[in-house]
Chain A
Amino acid sequence: MRVRFVRWPLLFITLLSLVLTACGSQPAAAPTAAPTTAPAESTEEFTFGMVLVGPINDGGWNQAHYEAAQYVVEKVPGVKFIYIDKVNPADRPNVKVEQAIEELIGQGARLIITNSAEFADGTNIAAAAHPDVYFIHASGDKVLTGEAPPNVRNLMGRMEYGKMIAGCAAALTTENGKLAYLGPLIDPETRRLVNSTYLGARYCWENYRGRSADELAFKVTWIGFWFNIPGVTLDPTKVANDFINEGYDVILSGIDTTEGIVEANKATQAGKRVFAVPYDFKGACAQGEAVCLGVPYFNWGPDYKRLVELARSGQWEPAWEWTGPNWSNINDPDTSMIGFVKGPALSAENAAKLDEFIAKLADGSLNLFTGPLYYQDGSVFVPEGQVADDKTIWYTQQLLAGIEGQSAP
């Protein structure tokens, strides 16, 4: 017997939906993606949208952005916040950044924040298509290179300082001088952050521990993306475990998520002594208080508040911004872009040394990007007697000599 099964009804539904659409019975509530002119109520309520690469509760990079947006809503009256998170090829294989941006604009967003280096092209394409909407591409440099339309700004924090502090904390605490860095993907940003960590660690290893730089092992393993994408990246859990099995006793995280500290905590419970330095988000130590040496974090709130107000007032102009900490109080939630919270596992003695280190960075008496600095292949990064300028640091080409790990993908 030949039975036609679900195919007839399926055809029916397809046709029905076509007919319904054709008859104009389009549901009124459906958001439209067509280009919109500014809604009339924009003078009263200002909507800004955010496209996030990961989930808003990842305990890392994305949560920092999300909480910054909440900070803006709290501090600026009449502002509404909408977002789409997990925009990445693994979580949403069929959604492109442009599509997500268009949906947000369709829902009335006048300012769009995109928070991943991966979003550079999509942000530019959408910005060109919507010249009346403002865009902040966080962590990008297309304004600097001149490829971005005029309604785009770039914003990034000088995490280099945070990473130097992190490296120092690690070097102060390590028992065997073996530090491991859980790296995301390889690009100029991650290279300069790894280098900063190494510089901080080497300085404190030499100056506070009084040991030779040769005795410091510093290894990077890149997982391949900002967080674990099963099947695409290395599994950060496995990588962290492998660090521990190979005897590294501090795991510094450079990825968006918290596998490093979780595994260090597990290993410590299992009788080993492994410390961790998470990344990105102020509250990240909560994943393993006992092993947390502290966390360098982003505090996007103040800058987003400033830019939202700027966009609202229409005083927008393209800019590439690279904001540093407020050195008078790096943990001030209203002024400092970059902060460092000390963790419970950092001993009081080391905490004091770390404070001393931070003070040196703050007063400018210590600049770790001072030559001579060499790349892994022996070529010169910063010549002797010179100090690297922003552009040299931003476009770091390789990892520094002394670091074990890949420099280029």
Chain B
Amino acid sequence: GDDKPGDRTVVLVTHDSFAHDPAVFDRFTAETGIRVEVRKSGDAGALTNQLVLTKASPLGDVAFGVDTTFASRALDEGVFAEYRSPAAAEGPQRYVVDDSGRLTAVDVGDVCVNVDVAALESRGLPVPTGYADLADPKYKDLLVVEDPATSSPGLAFLLGTVASFRDGWVGYWEKLRANGVLVVSGWEEAYTQEFSGSSGQGPRPIVVSYASSPSAEIGEDGEPRTRALLDTCFRQVEYAGVLANAKNPEDAGKVVDLLLSPEFQRTVPEMMYVYPAREGVELPEAWAKAAPLPENPATLPAAEIQANRERWIEQWRAAVQG
């Protein structure tokens, strides 16, 4: 808050995972005279909650990082003001939550099952292809997932099974349970401690992580050691929007435009391991190999998630941990 009056600073409120190329922001400042100040804290859930709590006196002007799971909540609470970016038509419109024009999609990421290819090979197992294989006794005791009550990828994976199996999801989880699924509370334990494909070299070769994770696990030969199973993905969209009661709503809208600009969108995969929401943005080479975009990821409407999340988690608990 040390900006002088008339100073064109926009505060961008976002989550821990936000990363950007400073060069892009610098160019924006040079062109528009608007300085962007980034304020990060917590994950998507914490961010949404902060925005809700401070809606009367917001921490900034524009927010990025509210995702599919939390979007309805933010909208219901009136956190965002209407702002329709001209760039929305270039692709982001595909992921629109409602027609109020308050949230604009910036990127999409998928939570998918990841496998350690070599480890499966050494056990003489083929790479599983979809949800059904995970319940196959061949793959007994090989899967580790996160608790949906305590972890966002865990929740996303649960939502993916709900979207795929609809009313049969509880039955599917019962089978997973019988097949020795290991539940841990967070991504860190699952991926770095239990999963064999990460540097931690844990015991289990199958884990719930992100579609983009393999791009960070490149072996000596330049090939990824792990692979995401593209038929087990759940898509999460991350949105940006101008905050209601922002001090500087005009310039805030320009920052939403910036986030949708081709320059920024091009940096999104490298910086945040997600896919740009804009169409026609070229992807880094490695991504084609290590992190191809799933073609038919599962999705659920934000409103449905908002309405059922707690009930589903309770049901999941009963089925998996009861």
- Same complex origin of A and B: no
Q: Which A residues are within 8 Å of any B CB, using their own CB?
A: none
Q: Which B residues are within 8 Å of any A CB, using their own CB?
A: none
